[in-house]
Structure 1
């Protein structure tokens, strides 16, 4: 696979999820990364200063740059997929935004990634969609104040059957609607090539179609959600497409590790983070 010219960031929540949070930045640095991303790293929507300060200090001590962070999404391992569209979590989502944008400004993180949320039993889907648009717009305005952008992710129905944003086109429609609401242009797409490939989408084609909306990329292979090259997805073609469209953003390595750096990252050149 030719990945020259592309930039990679270690997803600490998956690659190092077996470690305590404060040890993950050092583990990424030890593997040769200078850039990292994370799911929501805090224990609650409004963590105390001590918890926030400790994570910032761990990033700084390891010498790694946080390039992307999830807006609060719930328990991902338990099946939660975001709170944007959840009426019951509306207050908690809004409460978390000050933490998210404040931490982004503090660390120089310019990408806040957003998960839409699952359909909920007994809740009108239209109500959820209106709430998601409202929350995304609120997040976009808050992010803009600190020079950050918001990237919405589609997820394969095979992975999350109750998640309604299942492909790039659907995500793009939501993104365009939010930008129209805010009058800004800082909401775009997070294309996780694992999900798009698993859904059977033409990944090179969608990257070309949505290149103007593309803010962030993540990768894993299928089946198994391991490193690129471990499954059947055509990553040489995917990376060639990213190079072809002139993608200059970060590519998050959001895959299940073997915990052996010689195996997990042997497909990457050194330095790990790329150019």
Structure 2
């Protein structure tokens, strides 16, 4: 099984730039991150430190989020927010640059919460436009934009797989972009009441990425009740060939005990 450690939610006892090396020490060769900077356009020094931490650790960066705003404060993406559209667009070249230098090909774009005073129609039109721009921006390095359904954010409009897949279909129709795919986060989908087995049967071959956490609790596999192993195995059987992102909450000392046992 090819796992990639999400170093934005795991190993958080350590400073962010020490986490890739810790993942390597734990036996993993791949990592992924949410946006690791405070701004959409960080300084060259900040970018170099991040890139060096990954290169020096000897791990592959397999996934990187576009800037999603103030995540601890409740933000879940900038691309459908009229007031932050330019900020998102400025982020595209930075993301693509990091991807090019580190060989990363997958880039997660959180859609953005609904905003008071803005119509859903306007936000969705802007979201489709900015997703198309993101897809064009990473296409030059052979990259793919990922779009996911999210739980725990009441104003986030993409809750079920169909919600995200409909946005992807709209972007493809309106722009011709083919390098945008569904990120199947089994935890978020389960919390939102999705029939994950049915989604896998219909769409596994089209998944751009899979992320896992158990439920309830968003802990490590085996701490909850989700049949994660079965879902992963079925996705593989139906054509999914990518990484499995470990995006759960667990103290560092026990974060990977399940994998060692497995």
TM-score for both structures, normalised by structure 2: 0.96
- For 1:181 and 1:143, the matched residues in 2 are separated by 18
The match for 1:267 is 258
1:132 equivalent in alignment to 2:123:
no
- When the two structures are aligned, how many residues end up with a matched partner? 262
Unaligned runs of 5+ in 1: 1-5
1:228 equivalent in alignment to 2:192:
no
Question: For residues 168-179 of structure 1, what are the structure 2 equivalents within 5 Å?
Answer: 168-179=161-172
1:211 equivalent in alignment to 2:207:
no
State the shift of 1:17 in Å.
Answer: 2.9
8 Å CA contact retained: 1:12, 1:36: yes
Question: For residues 43-58 of structure 1, what are the structure 2 equivalents within 5 Å?
Answer: 43-58=38-53
Give the 3-state SS of the residue equivalent to 1:191 in structure 2: strand
What is the CA deviation profile of residues 19-57 of structure 1, one whole-angstrom value per residue up to 9, with x for unaligned ones?
Answer: 222111111111111100000012211111111111111
Question: For residues 92-241 of structure 1, what are the structure 2 equivalents within 5 Å?
Answer: 92-156=87-151, 159-241=152-234
- For 1:174 and 1:212, the matched residues in 2 are separated by 18
Distance 1:269 1:18, change over 3 A: closer
The match for 2:58 is 63
Give the 3-state SS of the residue equivalent to 1:13 in structure 2: coil
Give the 3-state SS of the residue equivalent to 2:259 in structure 1: coil
What is the CA deviation profile of residues 130-186 of structure 1, one whole-angstrom value per residue up to 9, with x for unaligned ones?
Answer: 110000000001110111000101012xx1111001111111111111122232311
State the shift of 1:239 in Å.
Answer: 2.1
Give the 3-state SS of the residue equivalent to 1:210 in structure 2: helix
1:37 equivalent in alignment to 2:35:
no
- For 2:112 and 2:193, the matched residues in 1 are separated by 22
- For 1:269 and 1:249, the matched residues in 2 are separated by 21
8 Å CA contact retained: 1:7, 1:248: no
8 Å CA contact retained: 2:66, 2:109: yes
Say which of 237, 240, 246 aligns to 1:244.
Answer: 237
Greater RCO (Cα-Cα under 8 Å, separation 6 or more) = 1
- For 1:58 and 1:265, the matched residues in 2 are separated by 21
C-alpha RMSD over aligned residues: 1.5
- For 1:18 and 1:269, the matched residues in 2 are separated by 20
The match for 1:3 is none
What is the CA deviation profile of residues 165-224 of structure 1, one whole-angstrom value per residue up to 9, with x for unaligned ones?
Answer: 111111111111112223231101001100111122121210121124310010001111
8 Å CA contact retained: 1:172, 1:189: yes
- For 1:19 and 1:132, the matched residues in 2 are separated by 35
TM-score for both structures, normalised by structure 1: 0.91
8 Å CA contact retained: 1:141, 1:182: no
